[in-house]
Amino acid sequence: MVKSEGNRCTRNCCNCPICTAPLAVSTLESEPGGAQSQWILTCGYCNWTSLDIDIRFDKPNNVYSQLAKIKSEHTTAKGADPSNHPQATDPDARFATLKSFYTTQLSSFPPTNPLLSSPSDYNYSSPSSLARIMSLYTSLHSSKPPTSKPLPMREALTRLEGLHLHSRTSSASTLQILLTHGWDHTTSPAQRSSQAPPPPRFLSSLRPVPALLRTKRSKRCRTCRHILVKPEAKVQSTRYRIRLVAVNYLPRITLKPLPASAATASTTTTTTPPPPSLDLAALPPLHPLQLVLTLTNPMYDAVKITLATPRRTPGLPGHKVTVLCPQFEVGASADVWDEALGAEAKRDARSKGADVEGEGKGREAEAGKVWERGRNWTSVVLEVVFSSTRFVYAPFTEQYESCIV
């Protein structure tokens, strides 16, 4: 089934012909009188529905089969007109006719020199081929004049043989649609390439596209060969049995300015007066700016973190960067339910941070001490001295290891 249908889904999975988003099967409101409800395909992204092309379904499943049935009925209706032949409207029927015609031609007209053709290309079952082979051995001792060369293969001449003639009425109707609806009613190259042949020219001729079948692959670590990603084997499921994403194992880093009250208290001993208000768009040069660097641990094990940065940032101009507490420990992350239900445990875990916050304006940032600590997060102070008004670039490396109790 996969090979015959071009590795596309033959059930209910279809994509929107306008925006390629997945289509959903929706029901229409039942008509009064107890009539059976009908179903349509709707796109939640561009609001396209199968009603735009006048297609309704009798049941919500086997959408692919119903689309094929509607297509065959439409082709039969066109073929009922004497001016339209079924092969001109159905590309599959035309291809089958051409294949049958050229198969007959190949069996009747062998190649001009059968000795130079490969055995796979030469048809030994054809009577004319056998007669030509026998004539090669009998012509040496025969006085008969040589026979004339066989006629070359001809092309299809009638519609019964697969010939498709251009119709003037189709060109006239195409021009009329362009004059009525304009250029916006035509299809794009991407939309035409996703449709079955012949490619449609207008949006009203687009049909839902069956979704491509995709493989589910597992991935392993290159070093330890541990399984990192493994999806579920069910066809209709999009979940993962194993999903070890790197973002779930790296600490989350946030950087913000130090509160004004603490920054004022820590800079009262300096000779340079502090600015009245901190404007990140215009930072004063040669003035120490203190930032709070917070790292949050997403894992269920405590980690030890070491931060390092050069005393002066690379490039011109260089800025001085100092981490007041380069080594510290971040606690383990607890379960979401434990955090929501254990209010008392949460207060105990944040007791140190709550006491620090209660010190008020008299608190100062000290070297070698953590600024603030929580259950699974820790904040340290980062001090930057700008040499000019340009934007600061403060790279730092991060190293952490599991805490062994």
Q: Is residue 227 located within the same domain as residue 287?
A: no
- Residue 148 domain flag: no
Indicate if 397 and 320 belong to the same structural domain: yes
Statement to judge: residues 240 and 320 lie in one domain: no
Q: Are residues 236 and 297 in the same domain?
A: no
Given this model, what pLDDT does residue 169 score?
Answer: 73
In a domain, residue 97? The reply is: no
Rounded to two decimals, what is the model's pTM? 0.46
Residues (pLDDT < 50) of the chain are 1-4, 82-83, 86, 116, 268-272, 275, 352-361, 389-394, 397, 399-405
pLDDT value at position 375?
85
pLDDT at 227: 92
pLDDT digits (tens, 9 = 90+) for 21-80: 999 999 887 655 556 678 999 998 999 999 988 899 988 888 988 988 888 777 666 655
Instruction: Name beta bridge partners: 399.
Output: 306
Do 296 and 373 fall into the same domain?
Answer: yes
pLDDT of residue 96: 86
Shared-domain flag, residues 316 and 187: no
293 and 201 within one domain: no
The pairing of strands 377-385 and 372-373 is antiparallel
Please check whether residue 327 lies inside any domain of the structure: yes
- Residue in the block written with tokens 């009525």: 180
Is residue 379 helix, strand or coil? strand
How far separated are the first and last CA of the chain, in Å rounded? 58
Residue 228: domain span? 216-245
Sign, CA dihedral 38-53-89-61, equals negative
Domain co-membership, 181 together with 290: no
Q: What is the CA radius of gyration of the chain?
A: 38
Indicate if 225 and 337 belong to the same structural domain.
no
Residue 303 lies in a domain: yes
- Strands (DSSP E) contained in 161-251 are 209-210, 219-220, 227-231, 240-243
Tell me which residue of 208, 187, 214 sits closest to 196, measured CA to CA. Answer: 208
Q: How many domains does the chain have?
A: 3
The answer to whether residue 301 is domain-embedded is yes
Residues 338 and 291 in one domain: yes
Other Cβ atoms within 10 Å of 340 Cβ, number: 9
Q: Does residue 369 lie within any of the structural domains?
A: yes
Q: Are 240 and 317 in a shared domain?
A: no
